[in-house]
Amino acid sequence: MSADTPAALTGFSYRYGTGVTAALDHIDLRVEPGLTAVTGASGSGKSTLLRVFNGLVPHFHGGVVQGHASTFGRDVLRTPTRTLARLVGFLFQDPELQSVCATVERDVAFGLENLAFPRTQMIERVDEALQRTGIAHLRHREVRTLSGGERQRLALAGVLALRPALLALDEPLSQLDAGGVASLLDTLDGLVAEGLTVVVAEHRLRDLAPRAQRVLQLEHGGLTNGGPSPGGGADPAIRAFARPSRAAAPSAWQLRDVTAGPARTALLSGVDAGGCAGEVVVLMGPNGAGKTTLLRTIAGLLAPLSGGVERVPGRVAYLPQNPTSLLHRPTVRAEVELTLRRSREHASADALIGQLGLRGVAGRYPRDLSTGERQRAALAAVLAGTPRIALLDEPTRGMDDASRSALRELISSLARQGTAVVMATHDRELADQVADRVLLVAGGAVTQSRPRAAVRTA
């Protein structure tokens, strides 16, 4: 294959060492310069495909390979990953995996330092990457204090600083607010105009598809189409769940004049907010505004710097932005059963597993699953039974349309049973469908707005 071809696969099949079925099945693909979008259900092989380009598959993950794969004319199977890493910049689904230094500026410079770039060149590239990703104002911040969306931009900045020829991004929009999505897509347009090849695996195609020259669809490891982008399209039909009025429902949680933030940094100041039993409250706002801080304060995981927090007695279920740390049992079913046993509830583990589309992976180790499957496994483990309060931080991360639909039904079911649900999300469609109220978090304050008005502008 020509050295000018960014990536090519011929009759390529791959099975993970722990897998029974092929993660990629007889893929024939030629990636051309420009922007290519890759879509498909959770577990369809999107992440695996991207990892072929930089050699993580198979050099890091092992497994069984058939066929041929090349990146810029180099045989992926015979080329060391250190060589491919100079050509292919990779953004993981979990941006936390790519943060290795204490501060933002040092983290962006880390890859350049490993490649022994001269100091003056490093400074220039770090400045450019911070500007392109919109986080120049965070250069001196500690990484541990960043929001999920800010961490996603940080990981991308570290990749861009290396100036790769091919950029492989695994769900880069999943934790970004509306402004962040628009900014990132504009950045990708600029990179493509400069000659960079960009491949993006993503569920959120509404904004991405009009920018792509090609959209690839994966299903059960196979490529079902490889045609040009269909462009935009009408927004999906939006419906709201009908639930009884909560006007007379008892209070479930209340914040009174709360000031709070990580590392004694006040992201929220003087917040008064609350929610009732059976009510779904959605938190929206820009990255870094304090949505996660608000959830952690309600949960009791973060003590307020001042003010008071009140919660109804009973179990509080909390799903963090990166829930992998919650999963430590040998199977998905065991995770759900553990929650039910600890809460002394007699609900059926299999019923929730089925509701979230996890029957096929119920006997597998949760950390071996795709990001979307792992997210659903964490939801099942956290929400098993009937918690009094459910706090969900970006729960649709890595989810396809079918999984998001199952989540909507689960939230509605919890609300009908009297659970107070508080969810932070950038998913405007989901918010419009499930919210009783939307709280806008911005500038250290929390304000209430009508759901549909807030969703359109958040």
Look at residue 245 and tell me whether its pLDDT is greater than 60.
no
Taking only the tens place, the pLDDT of each residue in 385-395 is 899 999 999 99
Residue 218 lies in a domain: yes
Is the pLDDT at 448 greater than 80? The verdict is no
Residue ending a domain, among 226, 261, 291, is 226
| Cβ neighbours of residue 159 closer than 8 Å, sequence gap 6 or more | 89, 90, 91, 98, 111, 167
Residue 233 main-chain phi, psi, to 5 deg: 165, 165
Burial of 110: CB neighbours in 10 Å, binned 0-12, 13-18, 19+: middle
The last residue of a domain, from among 210, 226, 242? 226
SS3 (DSSP) at 352? helix
Task: Give yes or no for a contact between 129 and 108, defined as CB atoms under 8 angstroms apart.
Answer: yes
Give the global pTM: 0.65
Here the tokens at position 323 are: 């829930």
**pLDDT tens digits, one per residue of 322-376:** 888 899 999 999 999 999 999 888 888 999 999 999 999 999 999 888 888 999 9
d(CA 377, CA 360): 12
pLDDT at 242: 36
The residue behind tokens 């794969």 is: 69
**Longest Cα separation, the chain:** 69
CA distance 419 to 411: 9
347 and 270 in a single domain? The answer is: yes
Residues 116 and 64 in one domain: yes
DSSP designation for 312: -
Q: Given pLDDT bands bounded at 50, 70 and 90, which one contains residue 2?
A: low
Q: When comparing pLDDT for 76 and 445, which is higher?
A: 76
Domain match, 49 and 178 both: yes
CA 359/CA 119 separation, integer angstroms: 53
Distance of CA 273 to the CA centre of its chain: 27
Whether residues 103 and 198 fall in one domain: yes
Q: Residue with structure tokens 């269909």?
A: 230
Q: What percent of the chain has pLDDT over 90?
A: 64
* pLDDT band, residue 248 (cuts 50/70/90): low
Q: Decide if 239 is inside a domain.
A: no
Angstrom distance (rounded) from CA 209 to CA 187: 15
Tens of pLDDT, residue by residue over 184-240, are 899 999 999 899 999 999 987 888 888 999 999 999 999 986 555 544 432 332 223
Structure confidence by residue, pLDDT tens digits, 55-99: 999 999 999 999 999 999 999 999 999 899 889 999 998 888 889
Q: What is the structure's pLDDT at 143?
A: 93
Kindly tell me if the per-residue pLDDT of 17 is higher than 90. no
CA distance 93 to 398: 8
Q: E strands, 267-335, where?
A: 268-276, 280-284, 306-311, 316-319
Q: Give the range of the structural domain holding residue 319, as residue numbers without chain letter.
A: 251-448
Q: How many domains does the chain divide into? A: 2
Residue 247 scores a pLDDT above 60: no
How large a percentage of the chain has pLDDT more than 70? 92
- 58-72, 339-353, 404-418, 443-457: least confident range: 443-457
Query: What integer pLDDT is reported at residue 209 of this predicted model?
Result: 87
Residue 169: the pLDDT is 96
Question: Do 180 and 293 belong together in one domain?
Answer: no
* Judgement on whether residues 28 and 148 belong to the same structural domain of the protein: yes
Spell out the residues 6+ positions from residue 8 whose beta carbon is closer than 8 angstroms to its own.
1, 29, 30, 31, 68, 69, 70
3-state secondary structure of 295: helix
Tell me whether residue 345 is in a domain. Answer: yes
H and E: helices and strands count for the chain: 14, 19
Q: Are residues 289 and 424 in the same domain?
A: yes
User: Do 213 and 281 belong together in one domain?
Assistant: no
Kindly state whether residues 306 and 348 are assigned to the same domain. Answer: yes
Let me know whether 301 and 164 are in one domain: no
